[in-house]
Amino acid sequence: MKRKLALLLLAGCVSVPQLKAQIKHIEMRVEGMT
Amino acid sequence: MKQHLGRQSGVQNVEVSLIDGKVEITPQEDGQIDPVHLMKATYDSGVSVAEIDMTARGKIVTDSSGNLAIQVAPNQSFAIAPNQLSKSLESLAGSQIEVTVRGQLYKKPAGKKKAEPSNPLKLLILEVQKKE
C-alpha cells in the first residue's frame, strides 16, 4: 500500500512540470530567407 | 538563422523550413523565452518576420487598465487583443484556472517591408485548447 502511494506521488511530481504555465511553442513565418 | 536563434535564451530547438518560410521554436521546459527578443534576433540574421504564432499556457489576469492578459510566468504576461474567443476567457480573470491558448502575437502590416512590432505585443486568440 505504501509502495503504491509512493509511486503515485512520484508520478504526480513527474507530471506537474508539464502542466505549469509557460510558452509551449512559437511559430514564425519569415520572408527573405534563402 | 537557425544557429542564431538556437543561441537565444530559453530556446531548446529550432526547426526551419525553407520551402514555406516557417520557423518553429521549442522553448526549454523550465526556461523563459521572449518572443520580442526572438523577433529581433530573426531580423538580425537578415530576414523579416511576417507573422508570429504562439501556444502558451497560463492564468487569465487583468492588467492595471482592466484589459485581459495571459500570465505565462510570474514576470511575463501578454495582453490579449479583444475578439469573440477572448470574451469566453473573461470569466476566468483572476481565477486559478489555467488555460492553453494558441494565438497570433504579430502580423506584419500589408505593404511594409519591415515593421517594428508594437510594444507590448498583443495576443489575438485563435484557439482555446484547454481549461484546467
Mark yes or no for CB contact B47/A22 under 8 Å.
no
Residue B12: the pLDDT is 93
pLDDT at A28 over 90: yes
3-state secondary structure chain B: CHHHHHCCCCEEEEEEECCCCEEEEEECCCCCCCHHHHHHHHHHCCCEEEEEEEEEEEEEEECCCCCEEEEEECCEEEEEECCHHHHCCHHHCCCCCEEEEEEEEEECCCCCCCCCCCCCCEEEEEEEEEEC
pLDDT at B119 over 90: no
pLDDT at B113 over 60: no
What is the average pLDDT value for chain A, to the nearest integer?
73
As a whole number of angstroms, the distance between CA A29 and CA B62 comes to 29
Residue B82: the pLDDT is 92
CA distance A10 to chain B (A): 19
As a whole number of angstroms, the distance between CA B47 and CA B112 comes to 14
C-alpha cell at B3: 544557429
What is the average pLDDT value for chain B, to the nearest integer?
88
Residue B66: the pLDDT is 84
Distances (CA, A) of B6 to A27, B51, B76: 14, 19, 21
Q: What are B62-77's pLDDT values in tens digits?
A: 988 888 999 999 989 9
C-alpha cell at A26: 512559437
C-alpha cell at B41: 534576433
C-alpha cell at B39: 523577433
pLDDT at A18 over 70: no
pLDDT: which is higher, A14 or A1? A1
The DSSP line for chain A is: -HHHHHHHHHHHHHHHHHHSSEEEEEEEEEES--
pLDDT: which is higher, B30 or B92? B92
Residue A11: the pLDDT is 62
pLDDT: which is higher, B43 or B130? B43
CA distance B44 to chain A (A): 12
The residues in A 10-29 lying below 8 A from B, measured between CB atoms, are 17, 19-29
Residue A12: the pLDDT is 60
Scanning every residue of chain A, which has its alpha carbon at the shortest distance from the alpha carbon of B10? A23
* pTM, two decimal places: 0.79
List of domains in chain B: 1-47 (no CATH), 51-132 (2.40.50)
Residue B106: the pLDDT is 94
